[in-house]
């Protein structure tokens, strides 16, 4: 799952960079940056996504 999130992160960053030459590139940059940040959080911060409750 971590590899998939890293691939998604790289793709979204690439897509955002390609959109910068458009007249409304900043809007598209933000649109692609949101899932890139989500993928980065999912890939690199495991403790943030785990719950603190342990069922017994």
What is the domain partition of the chain in residue ranges? 2-49
Distance CA 39, CA 18 (A): 19
When pLDDT is averaged across residues 34-43 and rounded to a whole number, the result is: 92
Q: What is the pLDDT of residues 6-30, one digit of tens each?
A: 999 999 999 999 998 899 989 999 9
Q: Which distant-in-sequence residues (6+ apart) come within 8 Å of 15 by Cβ?
A: 32
Distance CA 37, CA 21 (A): 22
pLDDT bracket for residue 56 (50, 70, 90): low
* Residue 2 structure tokens: 């971590």
For the question of whether the overall pTM of this predicted structure is more than 0.75, the answer is no
């Amino acid at each position: 799952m971590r590899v998939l999130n890293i691939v998604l992160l790289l793709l979204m960053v690439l897509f955002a960079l390609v959109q910068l030459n458009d007249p409304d590139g900043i809007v598209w940059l933000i649109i692609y940056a949101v899932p890139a940040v989500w993928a980065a959080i999912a890939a690199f911060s495991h403790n943030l996504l785990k719950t603190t409750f342990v069922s017994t």
